[in-house]
Amino acid sequence: MADWLDTAFSAFDGCLFRVMNSLAQSNGDFFTPFFNFISFFATKGLFLIILSVILLFFKKSRRVGFCMLLAIGIGALLTNVFLKPFVARVRPYEKQVLYRHFWSFVGANKESDLSFPSGHVTATASCMLALFLSTNKKWSWVGLVFTALMCLSRIYLIVHYATDVIGGLIVGFSAGIISYFIVRYLYKLLAKSQDKPFSRFVLSADIINIFRKK
């Protein structure tokens, strides 16, 4: 599978690497700190998980938090347990000398796992689409912009092929959609049993206020 991806999409992936390298070279590495900063927020999915957990503490945002957390989990399962081991694609800087030169110029950030699909993009896309689907569209579209920047950062830093990023988007968006419908169904079940303590807690309890009362 990895050899097929490398062969079938070599021109496409190589073209985008050259574009990103030209951007880096022409701006004197100006964008490198910015894209490193963007990538940092999806490292191990930790920031996204923390954000999701914080939302669970408030009654108004608990459903959104559940949806985001579940989406991250589904995306991680599909990516790390199934796709990465199955495809077994190595990082671009380990495959070609030219890409290694590009990678060195933008900081030589070494990644430890396999390349397809991008875990950073999967986590971000799943979390941000879940946020977009389950909350106010007037401001949650910013999360999709952040997802686009995450995609660019992974290619710019030469740690993922463009096809890795596209794969991450597909898996992440699929996880976000699946999570949205699962949480919507679960909340319908909870609404039918509002008299039960667990349902009442999930639907109505504001954990912050509970701690305040103590």
Distances (CA, A) of 68 to 27, 47, 52, 179: 36, 12, 6, 8
Q: In the numeric block, which tokens belong to residue 9?
A: 């999409």
Q: At what angle do helices 62-76 and 162-192 cross, to 10 degrees?
A: 140
Question: What is the set of active-site residues?
Answer: 120, 160
Q: Which residue in this structure is represented by tokens 């290694």?
A: 100
CA distance 120 to 40: 9
Cβ-based neighbour number of residue 32 at 10 Å: 18
3 class by beta-carbon count within 10 Å (0-12 exposed, 13-18 middle, 19+ buried): exposed
Q: Which residue in this structure is represented by tokens 């694609």?
A: 89
Closest CA to 69 of 144, 175, 169: 175
